[in-house]
Structure 1
Amino acid sequence: MDVAVWDVSDVESAGSWDPAALLLAGPVTVRDLFVEGRGVVRDGQVVTVDLPTVVERQNALAKRLMG
């Protein structure tokens, strides 16, 4: 089972009257995400990968692509 939890109480969500539109098109970041029962995101942080390493690799690939 997959479950996603969003915190829509922050200022970035203020004034929204359509929760579905906010989640689909707004700037809201998932707070907690479970995929097949396994925690992937906790408190807004990805916990299944080394994020700094992923970002570094992505930046290197983008630089090479635009090179």
Structure 2
Amino acid sequence: MTDTILDPAIRPIPVRELMPWTIFGGVLLLLLIYFVGAEEGATSIFSGMYIHEFVHDGRHLLGFPCH
């Protein structure tokens, strides 16, 4: 058997430091899902079809119906 020696410079990232980045990433993903999946019609934030046309192919790729 061999003994494993851990490098003291390598330490695990504490949850307290990781949590803000996790929340930030989650909010970005929710915004992305909203704009790809629901930004048209009655739930539209922006007038016109600009956002819909910009993410149109992504909608089909992810399986969201749009027509």
Q: Fold conserved (TM > 0.5)? A: no
**Greater Rg over alpha carbons, structure:** 2
Q: What is the TM-score when the length of structure 2 is the normalising length?
A: 0.31
Higher share in helix: 2
TM-score, structure 1 as length reference: 0.31
